Amino acid sequence: MNLSLALSSAQSALSATATQTSIISRNITGAADPGYSRKLGLTSSLGLGGVKLVSVGRATDTALYFRMLEATSSSSAQSTLLAGYERLSRTVEDPELNQSVTASLGNLTASIQMLAESPGDPVLGAAMLTAAYDLAGTLNDASRTVQETRAQADSAMADSVSRINDLLRQFETANRAIVAGTPSGADVTDHLDTRERVLSALSEEVGISVVTRPGGDMAIYTDSGVTLFEKSARTISFDRTFAYDANTTGAAVFADGVQLTGPTATMGIKSGALFGHAAIRDEVAPTYQRQLDEIARGLIVAFAESDQSAIPTLPDAPGLFTWPGAPAMPPAGVALPGLAGLIEVTANADPARGGDLTRLRDGGLADPLQPEYVYNATGEAAYSDRLYGLIAKLNAAQAFDPATQVNPNTTLSGFSSSSVSWLEAGRKQADGEASFRATFLERTKEALSNKTGVNLDEELALMMELERSYAASARIISAVDNMLQALLQATR
């Protein structure tokens, strides 16, 4: 090898080493960033000796990365569902603390039994009235919690949609830079990292699938096949509903006119936080509301008063528990939206509101001006038939709305217990799924990091090798320089 070739080879090696050192420095700087992929300097040999840097690449594992996106969406959906179930579970709490509908119903039944054994005791009558107020209040509070949970889910959906739109704009910027730089061989690895970070964040909100196109381009679809990005970002739209009651139907989310959420969506999303919030708002909470409404209806039915005439002519009417539609009874066998939030104790039993406690024993709560609703016409203090009759009705099977998704033919207490079991079963399943999905996601991220992340020990070892290579190339250049100096002196 002549001196000029040796010098050229050493200079090219020096240049390549300097660039490789710069790449390793980038890797060391990005080691703490979970979205950073290890950069690689791709070199090739020159024909007459030496090396040159061809391009800068990055460590990738496409299959594992796509699996991580799917795991992220699944984990996000389950954790969102769990949070919704836990908010609804506040209506149950610990039954032993008498904070649930079931516990309050049990307290009322016990107070009726005690009053039936001493029907003339006003203290026991007051205790029964208090238990009735507690039960009605518990139902009111539970209904309010359900609708607040729906409103919170709706608000979270609005936040999710806003974040999705922002992420799609970020994706478009990064994707445009990649498409522009790839044909010319420019270093677009940082833009690729940015694009993957955006995809990872996007998968938290909605389940996605991606398709890589020639030239580094990429398209994004929901897990149900709806386009989110193809050459440009699609607009995701949602009209937030600020106040909820049992009759409110929340708005759906759309992607350029294609419905993504709601029971009527033909291409509805299947995972991600947006899916979880929509499921709580549109499915879980409304079903639980129907159960509460049916408990309220069952109470009104069980405590209803009937015409005690020899030949009855008056219809049954709400007694101790009433509602705004009184004196009519709620429709039979079907949940009346929001009834749990409307049920109340009649003023006709409460002395503080102009009522009379003895009507708990004697009847006449439906309408004090209609003596036909009085069971104890003589006012006998020891009369307890009406109270025992109430206990019998509470223990009798009723027909409940099948749309409640629990046993539709059972006692009121049985239905209430089934509702608690339904809610707890859903929460427990969501808890188990959330734990499993979170663990799977963590392991997938760890595997991906092992494949594409930065190992500081390896990078530092490579840096030392490059330093030795740099020093060797520098010595060659110095030696060639000395030889050239010697030749010049010899020719003088």
Which among 415, 397, 416 has a CA at the least distance from the CA of 407? Answer: 415
pLDDT category of residue 6 using cuts at 50, 70 and 90: low
Pick the closest to residue 42 from 189, 164, 178, 172 (CA basis). Answer: 189
Strand partners, 220: 210, 229
Buried b (16+ CB within 10 A) or exposed e, 60-92: beeebbebbbbbbbbbbbbbbbbbbbebbbebb
Among residues 111, 196, 137, 181, the alpha carbon closest in space to that of 387 is found at 111
Beta bridge partners of 53: 43
Mean pLDDT of all residues in 255-280: 96
- pLDDT band at 33, cuts 50/70/90? confident
The answer on pLDDT for 365 being more than 80 is: yes
In our burial notation (b when 16+ CB lie closer than 10 A, e otherwise), range 363-402 reads bbbbbeeeebbbbbeeeeeebbebbeebeebbeeebebbe
What's residue 473's pLDDT? 60
Question: Cα separation of 66 and 78, whole Å?
Answer: 19
Sign of CA dihedral 358, 361, 362, 365: positive
pLDDT for the residue 490: 72
pLDDT tens digits, one per residue of 44-91:
555 555 555 556 767 778 899 999 999 999 999 999 999 999 999 988
Give the pLDDT of residue 160: 98
pTM over 0.85: yes
Of 343, 282, 431, which Cα lies nearest the Cα of 143? 343
| Averaged pLDDT of the chain | 89
Confidence (pLDDT) at 92: 84
Go through 236-250 and write b for each residue having 16 or more CB atoms within 10 A of its CB, e for each that does not: bebeebeebebebeb
- The pLDDT assigned to 35 comes to 76
Q: Of 387, 394, 330, whose CA–CA distance to 363 is shortest?
A: 387
- For residue range 260-270, list pLDDT tens digits in order: 999 999 999 99
Q: Please report, as a single letter, which amino acid is at residue 355.
A: G
Domain boundaries, the chain: 3-59+456-490, 67-440
